[in-house]
Structure 1
């Protein structure tokens, strides 16, 4: 009998404890009649409910009530499909408690159901939640900056951005680790800086009509291919950097420059189609792309430091247009077998601006005994020129892989270029029958001026210093 009594007491304690622990988790259907009333309607239940449905008008104050119930209570699921949200906008910081977030904690709201008439998500609207699922209403027309930032558990796949949206704003999906597929609308014009920074998305389209992609916008994703439409006119620095699974990139025709660090650290990148329109490749553009093989565009003028260092290039063809090659641009090309340089005047080679002073574009583990083919009559100039003097096997030829015959060296220079009294002078002895192109750069790669000449020309320079001047196929380094 005594044993039965103790068993009864024990079971009663377990039942009581279960009710105390699990009885708090409950559903509540809240009906409100005016903005700001939700706190009053919840009353003493504010910290005991885990699921909430709201009927009626709500505003920013009501969102703060829901945040309070999630932070200090048990609220995990919020259904607003029957609510009338003020201005049809999820307010700025709508589901955020900044003290909580800045202390490194995630607000444990796991599911949100929105009304069908929402037109805007505010700044940081859903930032830093444990959110797993949310519906994106087709009525939505604006995403706020950082609105889904740091929602590491968000796993709506595919996540479809509604038609009418024109911008994925700054940090919108930054650090969304569980997004796998994004469907972007045909109305999209801009993917702004850091928009998908370290979002581990595997699939994403880039619609026709897209105009610009910002700094580090597609950084550190799991994409394997990026194909951009020709409508893209601007790409920010490091836009596609550190995409470890990226194998192929197609850039838009008409692009004039490759941005800094565009695909840096894309260690699996095998192929990138550089548009023929590109005349400048900026620093670190393809650095540490260990499997990359590609060709230089036919009118390239400027290749900045570290642009192709550690790539898998096995041959390089420098066209006659090349004017400047930065330090380390072709550093550590262990697979390189040959180089063709079609300009009769050796392109200017610079030292590395940050590391290994004295090293030119081709140092490190780039082999120095490979054949370097240059135009007939120019071999000695290449052997004496900084950067090119790294190589021990310079060979003169008039046959280049493009089939274009390299211009032969004449006995006389077409023109003289020199500096005097803070002026740069391009002296042409005789009036030319057809214009000749000229361009003037600072040693940092900034273009000062370009144009076409048929006679001598004098330009007042902005300051004293060193300038690089190219006239036709000749390149000059001028000190003022």
Structure 2
């Protein structure tokens, strides 16, 4: 594996080669330990404790090396040319915090990043077409921006991301069942628990796609769009005043939060405010 420290994080540059893919034979001896990781620190003491607590018959050097490499990854950069993240590839990388996908990636398969408990930031490929079952289950992602190219997001793909507050998905994307069950976003909603768990297609999924559908939230839609346009945002701010940046929508998110969290825009709230003030000082 090719590692380097980037932005202070131990980074793996993933090129799709066989030695960088989830090893089912080795990992099968370790999966049960991942469930308990969030209660521990990432150090040798934890490694030894897990080995002691969950004894593994015939613990080989290959297993230990594989285990240490999983804990070592803090950032993942998917290199150009990679088109698919195979099933289970980064399952249980419990210290992974950030993933940057090359724009050649089209598919993220089942459980590819499941149990990456500390994964908080993902920048998806602009060519992404498919996200598999439980692909990002039990991570720590705060905001998700799905590109227009994505045709399908499968069941439980972003389930149990407790801090997930911002989720932008195109209207045409097919959504599976319970894609974000257990998220903060749904906890703000008025849905009953049984609806969230059993009626995703009929109630939850349309709501997910239209949480900002009313006219009063036009600025929210402009800020969370895949490629926010400065002209549109400025026009709305100019009409409604700077206070509209702090107006929260039905799930408690302000327009400026969309701008700050959107990885596909170079716009900033400060830039818009500057233009607004200048237009008032120097009207055309």
TM-score bin, normalised by smaller chain: 0.3 to 0.5
TM-score by length of 2: 0.48
Select the structure that is richer in strand: 1
**TM-score, length-normalised on structure 1?**
0.30
Higher relative contact order (CA 8 A, sep 6+): 2
More helix by share: 2
